[in-house]
Amino acid sequence: MTIQRRVLLQAGAGLLTGAALLPYGLHQARAAAPFRNDVPPAWYRFRFGEYEATIISDGRLPLGKPEPAFPASPPIEIVSLLRDNFLPPDAATLEQNALVLNTGRQLILFDTGMGESMGADSRMFGPTTGRLLANMRASGIQPEQIDLVVLSHAHSDHCWALVDANGKKNFPNAQVAVSEADLRYWTDDGNKRGPAFMTTFIDGAKKNLSAYRDRMVMVRDGGEVAPGITAISAPGHTVGHTCYSITSAGQTMVYTGDLAHHHVLLLQRPLWEFSFDTDPKQSAQTRSRMLDRLANDKHLVLSYHFPWPGLGHVVRSGSAYEWAAEPMDLTG
Protein backbone atom coordinates (compact mmCIF):
# COMPACT_ATOMS: atom_id res chain seq x y z
CA MET A 1 0.00 0.00 0.00
CA THR A 2 1.32 3.45 -0.90
CA ILE A 3 1.61 6.07 1.79
CA GLN A 4 -0.91 8.30 0.05
CA ARG A 5 -3.52 5.52 -0.07
CA ARG A 6 -2.97 4.60 3.59
CA VAL A 7 -3.37 8.24 4.63
CA LEU A 8 -6.59 8.49 2.67
CA LEU A 9 -7.95 5.31 4.21
CA GLN A 10 -7.09 6.51 7.70
CA ALA A 11 -8.69 9.86 7.03
CA GLY A 12 -11.82 8.14 5.79
CA ALA A 13 -12.00 5.90 8.85
CA GLY A 14 -11.59 8.96 11.09
CA LEU A 15 -14.47 10.67 9.40
CA LEU A 16 -16.70 7.68 9.91
CA THR A 17 -15.72 7.35 13.56
CA GLY A 18 -16.23 11.06 14.12
CA ALA A 19 -19.66 10.95 12.54
CA ALA A 20 -20.69 8.00 14.63
CA LEU A 21 -19.75 9.83 17.82
CA LEU A 22 -21.76 12.97 17.07
CA PRO A 23 -24.81 13.44 19.24
CA TYR A 24 -28.09 12.82 17.41
CA GLY A 25 -29.26 16.43 17.66
CA LEU A 26 -26.18 17.73 15.84
CA HIS A 27 -26.91 15.47 12.84
CA GLN A 28 -30.38 16.90 12.65
CA ALA A 29 -29.17 20.49 12.85
CA ARG A 30 -26.77 19.93 9.94
CA ALA A 31 -29.56 18.69 7.67
CA ALA A 32 -32.13 21.27 8.69
CA ALA A 33 -31.83 23.70 5.79
CA PRO A 34 -35.19 25.20 4.85
CA PHE A 35 -36.79 24.03 1.60
CA ARG A 36 -36.34 26.80 -0.95
CA ASN A 37 -39.48 26.11 -3.00
CA ASP A 38 -38.23 28.25 -5.87
CA VAL A 39 -37.37 27.33 -9.45
CA PRO A 40 -34.56 28.52 -11.72
CA PRO A 41 -35.33 30.78 -14.70
CA ALA A 42 -36.48 28.41 -17.44
CA TRP A 43 -34.88 28.97 -20.82
CA TYR A 44 -32.99 26.63 -23.14
CA ARG A 45 -30.70 27.72 -25.95
CA PHE A 46 -29.43 25.73 -28.93
CA ARG A 47 -28.09 26.25 -32.45
CA PHE A 48 -30.47 25.49 -35.24
CA GLY A 49 -28.84 25.65 -38.67
CA GLU A 50 -27.49 29.19 -38.94
CA TYR A 51 -29.94 30.42 -36.31
CA GLU A 52 -29.82 30.59 -32.53
CA ALA A 53 -32.97 29.32 -30.84
CA THR A 54 -34.02 30.03 -27.26
CA ILE A 55 -37.03 28.28 -25.79
CA ILE A 56 -38.56 30.36 -23.02
CA SER A 57 -41.07 29.03 -20.52
CA ASP A 58 -44.17 30.95 -19.53
CA GLY A 59 -44.51 28.51 -16.63
CA ARG A 60 -46.65 25.47 -16.07
CA LEU A 61 -50.32 25.47 -16.94
CA PRO A 62 -52.27 23.06 -14.72
CA LEU A 63 -55.43 21.80 -16.42
CA GLY A 64 -56.74 20.04 -13.31
CA LYS A 65 -58.81 16.90 -13.67
CA PRO A 66 -58.24 15.65 -17.20
CA GLU A 67 -61.71 14.24 -17.94
CA PRO A 68 -63.49 17.61 -18.57
CA ALA A 69 -60.73 18.61 -21.02
CA PHE A 70 -61.53 15.55 -23.16
CA PRO A 71 -65.32 15.47 -22.85
CA ALA A 72 -65.98 12.96 -25.64
CA SER A 73 -63.42 10.41 -24.41
CA PRO A 74 -64.01 7.45 -22.05
CA PRO A 75 -62.78 8.52 -18.58
CA ILE A 76 -61.44 5.03 -17.85
CA GLU A 77 -59.23 5.21 -20.95
CA ILE A 78 -57.92 8.66 -19.99
CA VAL A 79 -56.94 7.35 -16.56
CA SER A 80 -55.28 4.18 -17.85
CA LEU A 81 -53.29 6.03 -20.54
CA LEU A 82 -51.99 8.49 -17.94
CA ARG A 83 -51.18 5.73 -15.43
CA ASP A 84 -49.42 3.61 -18.06
CA ASN A 85 -47.20 6.59 -18.85
CA PHE A 86 -46.37 7.36 -15.21
CA LEU A 87 -48.46 10.53 -15.11
CA PRO A 88 -50.91 11.42 -12.33
CA PRO A 89 -54.38 10.27 -13.44
CA ASP A 90 -56.22 13.02 -11.55
CA ALA A 91 -54.31 16.13 -12.70
CA ALA A 92 -53.08 17.03 -16.17
CA THR A 93 -50.34 19.62 -16.48
CA LEU A 94 -49.27 21.36 -19.65
CA GLU A 95 -46.07 23.34 -20.20
CA GLN A 96 -45.82 26.60 -22.14
CA ASN A 97 -42.78 26.59 -24.40
CA ALA A 98 -42.40 29.80 -26.40
CA LEU A 99 -39.58 30.24 -28.90
CA VAL A 100 -37.26 33.13 -29.67
CA LEU A 101 -35.40 32.71 -32.92
CA ASN A 102 -32.38 34.87 -33.70
CA THR A 103 -31.93 34.70 -37.47
CA GLY A 104 -28.96 37.06 -37.42
CA ARG A 105 -31.20 39.75 -38.94
CA GLN A 106 -34.26 39.56 -36.69
CA LEU A 107 -35.33 38.40 -33.23
CA ILE A 108 -38.62 36.57 -33.66
CA LEU A 109 -40.82 35.47 -30.75
CA PHE A 110 -43.34 32.68 -31.31
CA ASP A 111 -46.30 33.17 -28.89
CA THR A 112 -46.22 35.23 -25.71
CA GLY A 113 -47.70 33.18 -22.85
CA MET A 114 -50.46 34.38 -20.50
CA GLY A 115 -48.95 37.66 -19.32
CA GLU A 116 -50.73 39.96 -16.86
CA SER A 117 -52.87 42.05 -19.20
CA MET A 118 -56.23 40.74 -17.99
CA GLY A 119 -55.93 41.10 -14.22
CA ALA A 120 -57.40 38.14 -12.31
CA ASP A 121 -58.34 36.43 -15.60
CA SER A 122 -54.63 36.24 -16.42
CA ARG A 123 -54.41 33.72 -13.58
CA MET A 124 -57.28 31.58 -14.83
CA PHE A 125 -54.93 28.58 -14.75
CA GLY A 126 -53.36 29.49 -11.41
CA PRO A 127 -50.26 31.39 -10.28
CA THR A 128 -47.61 29.44 -12.21
CA THR A 129 -48.22 31.08 -15.62
CA GLY A 130 -47.15 34.51 -16.88
CA ARG A 131 -43.39 34.08 -16.51
CA LEU A 132 -42.30 34.65 -20.10
CA LEU A 133 -41.02 38.23 -19.75
CA ALA A 134 -38.99 37.46 -16.61
CA ASN A 135 -37.56 34.30 -18.16
CA MET A 136 -36.79 36.13 -21.41
CA ARG A 137 -34.82 38.79 -19.53
CA ALA A 138 -33.03 36.08 -17.55
CA SER A 139 -31.97 34.52 -20.87
CA GLY A 140 -30.33 37.81 -21.89
CA ILE A 141 -33.04 38.89 -24.35
CA GLN A 142 -34.91 42.15 -23.73
CA PRO A 143 -38.55 42.47 -24.89
CA GLU A 144 -37.63 45.75 -26.66
CA GLN A 145 -35.30 43.76 -28.94
CA ILE A 146 -38.08 41.60 -30.39
CA ASP A 147 -38.72 42.56 -34.04
CA LEU A 148 -41.62 40.26 -34.77
CA VAL A 149 -44.10 38.27 -32.65
CA VAL A 150 -45.53 35.33 -34.56
CA LEU A 151 -48.75 33.91 -33.13
CA SER A 152 -49.96 30.35 -33.59
CA HIS A 153 -53.43 31.57 -32.58
CA ALA A 154 -55.15 34.20 -30.43
CA HIS A 155 -55.91 32.25 -27.23
CA SER A 156 -55.03 33.60 -23.79
CA ASP A 157 -51.90 31.50 -23.24
CA HIS A 158 -50.48 32.56 -26.63
CA CYS A 159 -51.19 36.29 -27.02
CA TRP A 160 -52.14 37.81 -23.69
CA ALA A 161 -48.60 39.02 -22.94
CA LEU A 162 -48.55 41.32 -25.98
CA VAL A 163 -49.50 44.15 -23.60
CA ASP A 164 -49.28 44.81 -19.87
CA ALA A 165 -52.18 45.42 -17.47
CA ASN A 166 -52.38 49.07 -18.65
CA GLY A 167 -52.60 48.05 -22.29
CA LYS A 168 -49.02 49.20 -22.99
CA LYS A 169 -47.02 47.17 -25.50
CA ASN A 170 -44.59 44.72 -23.92
CA PHE A 171 -42.79 44.46 -27.29
CA PRO A 172 -42.73 48.12 -28.40
CA ASN A 173 -40.61 47.54 -31.51
CA ALA A 174 -42.35 44.41 -32.79
CA GLN A 175 -44.73 43.67 -35.59
CA VAL A 176 -47.31 40.96 -34.88
CA ALA A 177 -48.01 38.15 -37.35
CA VAL A 178 -51.33 36.31 -37.00
CA SER A 179 -53.78 34.62 -39.34
CA GLU A 180 -56.53 36.91 -40.61
CA ALA A 181 -59.12 34.28 -39.62
CA ASP A 182 -58.03 34.32 -35.96
CA LEU A 183 -57.71 38.10 -35.87
CA ARG A 184 -61.28 38.51 -37.14
CA TYR A 185 -62.79 35.73 -35.00
CA TRP A 186 -61.23 36.64 -31.65
CA THR A 187 -61.91 40.37 -31.96
CA ASP A 188 -65.60 39.93 -32.85
CA ASP A 189 -68.04 40.42 -29.96
CA GLY A 190 -70.58 38.44 -32.01
CA ASN A 191 -68.63 35.28 -31.10
CA LYS A 192 -69.26 35.75 -27.36
CA ARG A 193 -71.45 32.66 -27.13
CA GLY A 194 -71.03 29.01 -26.19
CA PRO A 195 -68.57 28.16 -23.37
CA ALA A 196 -68.14 30.71 -20.55
CA PHE A 197 -64.49 31.38 -21.43
CA MET A 198 -65.42 32.85 -24.84
CA THR A 199 -66.23 36.31 -23.45
CA THR A 200 -62.97 36.49 -21.51
CA PHE A 201 -60.94 35.16 -24.43
CA ILE A 202 -62.41 37.70 -26.85
CA ASP A 203 -61.96 40.62 -24.43
CA GLY A 204 -58.33 39.55 -23.89
CA ALA A 205 -57.58 39.14 -27.59
CA LYS A 206 -59.09 42.55 -28.35
CA LYS A 207 -57.04 44.28 -25.67
CA ASN A 208 -53.79 42.61 -26.72
CA LEU A 209 -54.12 42.66 -30.51
CA SER A 210 -55.61 46.14 -30.83
CA ALA A 211 -52.43 47.71 -29.39
CA TYR A 212 -50.58 46.49 -32.50
CA ARG A 213 -53.32 47.26 -35.05
CA ASP A 214 -50.95 49.38 -37.17
CA ARG A 215 -48.16 46.80 -36.92
CA MET A 216 -50.04 43.66 -38.02
CA VAL A 217 -48.80 41.16 -40.58
CA MET A 218 -51.44 38.81 -41.98
CA VAL A 219 -50.31 35.20 -42.13
CA ARG A 220 -51.43 33.06 -45.08
CA ASP A 221 -51.11 29.31 -45.56
CA GLY A 222 -47.79 28.62 -47.30
CA GLY A 223 -46.69 32.24 -46.96
CA GLU A 224 -43.35 33.31 -45.47
CA VAL A 225 -43.48 35.44 -42.31
CA ALA A 226 -39.69 35.81 -42.45
CA PRO A 227 -37.05 34.20 -44.69
CA GLY A 228 -37.20 30.42 -44.16
CA ILE A 229 -40.25 30.63 -41.86
CA THR A 230 -43.41 29.38 -43.55
CA ALA A 231 -46.98 29.25 -42.24
CA ILE A 232 -48.85 25.93 -42.28
CA SER A 233 -52.58 26.42 -41.78
CA ALA A 234 -53.78 23.94 -39.12
CA PRO A 235 -57.37 24.96 -38.31
CA GLY A 236 -59.70 23.45 -35.74
CA HIS A 237 -58.27 24.37 -32.35
CA THR A 238 -59.07 27.88 -33.56
CA VAL A 239 -60.37 28.92 -36.98
CA GLY A 240 -56.97 30.27 -38.00
CA HIS A 241 -54.61 28.13 -35.92
CA THR A 242 -51.23 28.00 -37.66
CA CYS A 243 -48.05 25.92 -37.37
CA TYR A 244 -44.74 27.27 -38.65
CA SER A 245 -41.98 25.49 -40.53
CA ILE A 246 -38.54 26.94 -39.79
CA THR A 247 -35.72 26.01 -42.18
CA SER A 248 -32.06 26.99 -41.90
CA ALA A 249 -29.00 25.41 -43.50
CA GLY A 250 -30.99 22.40 -44.68
CA GLN A 251 -32.56 21.65 -41.27
CA THR A 252 -36.26 22.03 -40.59
CA MET A 253 -38.03 22.44 -37.26
CA VAL A 254 -41.83 22.71 -37.03
CA TYR A 255 -43.34 24.94 -34.34
CA THR A 256 -46.68 23.22 -33.84
CA GLY A 257 -48.40 25.56 -31.36
CA ASP A 258 -51.55 23.80 -30.09
CA LEU A 259 -51.78 21.08 -32.72
CA ALA A 260 -51.75 18.63 -29.78
CA HIS A 261 -52.00 19.67 -26.14
CA HIS A 262 -50.93 16.45 -24.46
CA HIS A 263 -47.95 14.32 -25.47
CA VAL A 264 -49.61 11.06 -24.41
CA LEU A 265 -53.36 11.49 -24.73
CA LEU A 266 -53.47 13.28 -28.07
CA LEU A 267 -50.60 11.45 -29.73
CA GLN A 268 -51.87 8.01 -28.78
CA ARG A 269 -55.48 9.08 -29.46
CA PRO A 270 -55.14 11.83 -32.13
CA LEU A 271 -58.87 11.86 -32.91
CA TRP A 272 -59.89 12.73 -29.34
CA GLU A 273 -61.58 16.09 -28.95
CA PHE A 274 -60.22 18.81 -26.68
CA SER A 275 -62.55 21.13 -24.75
CA PHE A 276 -60.91 24.40 -25.81
CA ASP A 277 -61.14 23.57 -29.54
CA THR A 278 -63.35 25.94 -31.54
CA ASP A 279 -64.17 23.05 -33.91
CA PRO A 280 -63.11 19.82 -32.14
CA LYS A 281 -63.85 17.57 -35.13
CA GLN A 282 -61.85 19.70 -37.55
CA SER A 283 -59.08 19.95 -34.94
CA ALA A 284 -58.89 16.15 -34.68
CA GLN A 285 -58.69 15.77 -38.48
CA THR A 286 -55.99 18.45 -38.71
CA ARG A 287 -54.03 16.81 -35.88
CA SER A 288 -54.16 13.40 -37.55
CA ARG A 289 -53.07 14.78 -40.89
CA MET A 290 -50.23 16.87 -39.41
CA LEU A 291 -48.96 14.10 -37.12
CA ASP A 292 -48.79 11.78 -40.13
CA ARG A 293 -46.79 14.41 -42.00
CA LEU A 294 -44.45 15.06 -39.05
CA ALA A 295 -43.82 11.33 -38.56
CA ASN A 296 -43.05 10.95 -42.28
CA ASP A 297 -40.83 14.02 -42.57
CA LYS A 298 -39.01 13.24 -39.29
CA HIS A 299 -38.48 16.95 -38.71
CA LEU A 300 -37.64 18.32 -35.29
CA VAL A 301 -40.83 19.47 -33.54
CA LEU A 302 -41.30 22.20 -30.95
CA SER A 303 -44.65 21.70 -29.23
CA TYR A 304 -45.93 24.57 -27.07
CA HIS A 305 -47.64 22.45 -24.39
CA PHE A 306 -45.47 19.30 -24.29
CA PRO A 307 -43.04 18.54 -21.41
CA TRP A 308 -40.35 21.18 -21.10
CA PRO A 309 -38.71 22.27 -23.35
CA GLY A 310 -41.10 20.69 -25.86
CA LEU A 311 -38.50 19.56 -28.39
CA GLY A 312 -38.68 16.12 -29.95
CA HIS A 313 -39.96 13.95 -32.76
CA VAL A 314 -43.29 12.37 -33.62
CA VAL A 315 -42.86 8.61 -34.00
CA ARG A 316 -45.45 6.36 -35.62
CA SER A 317 -46.74 3.63 -33.28
CA GLY A 318 -49.30 1.30 -34.82
CA SER A 319 -52.17 3.45 -36.01
CA ALA A 320 -51.19 6.31 -33.65
CA TYR A 321 -48.03 8.11 -32.48
CA GLU A 322 -45.59 8.50 -29.63
CA TRP A 323 -43.43 11.41 -28.53
CA ALA A 324 -39.64 10.97 -28.60
CA ALA A 325 -38.25 13.84 -26.51
CA GLU A 326 -34.97 15.36 -27.74
CA PRO A 327 -32.25 15.14 -25.09
CA MET A 328 -31.27 18.57 -23.76
CA ASP A 329 -27.65 19.64 -24.06
CA LEU A 330 -26.82 21.77 -21.01
CA THR A 331 -23.09 21.34 -21.11
CA GLY A 332 -22.19 22.95 -24.46
Q: Are strands 148-150 and 107-110 parallel, antiparallel or unpaired?
A: parallel
Q: How far is the CB of 55 from Zn ion (least distance, A)?
A: 15
Q: Please give the sequence-ordered ranges of beta strands (E in DSSP) within 29-174, or none if there are none.
A: 43-48, 51-57, 61-64, 92-94, 97-102, 107-110, 148-150
Shorter beta-carbon distance to Zn ion: residue 201 or 321: 201
- Please give the Cα distance from 109 to 149 (Å, whole number): 5
Shorter beta-carbon distance to Zn ion: residue 12 or 64: 64
Shorter beta-carbon distance to Zn ion: residue 102 or 154: 154
Amino acid at the residue 159: C
- Please give the Cα distance from 113 to 229 (Å, whole number): 21
Q: How far is the CB of 208 from Zn ion (least distance, A)?
A: 14
Spatial CA neighbour of 322 closest among 282, 246, 281, 266: 266
Q: How far is the CB of 212 from Zn ion (least distance, A)?
A: 20
Q: How far is the CB of 202 from Zn ion (least distance, A)?
A: 16
Shorter beta-carbon distance to Zn ion: residue 248 or 280: 280
How far from chain centre, in Å, is Cα 44? 12
| Positions that interact with Zn ion (CB under 5 A) | 157, 258
Q: How far is the CB of 11 from Zn ion (least distance, A)?
A: 57
Three-state SS at 16: helix
In order of 4, 14, 21, the CA distances from 8 in angstroms are 6, 10, 20
Q: Say if residues 252 and 300 touch (Cβ distance below 8 Å).
A: yes
- Please give the Cα distance from 189 to 183 (Å, whole number): 12
Shorter beta-carbon distance to Zn ion: residue 248 or 278: 278
Shorter beta-carbon distance to Zn ion: residue 103 or 156: 156
Q: How far is the CB of 196 from Zn ion (least distance, A)?
A: 18
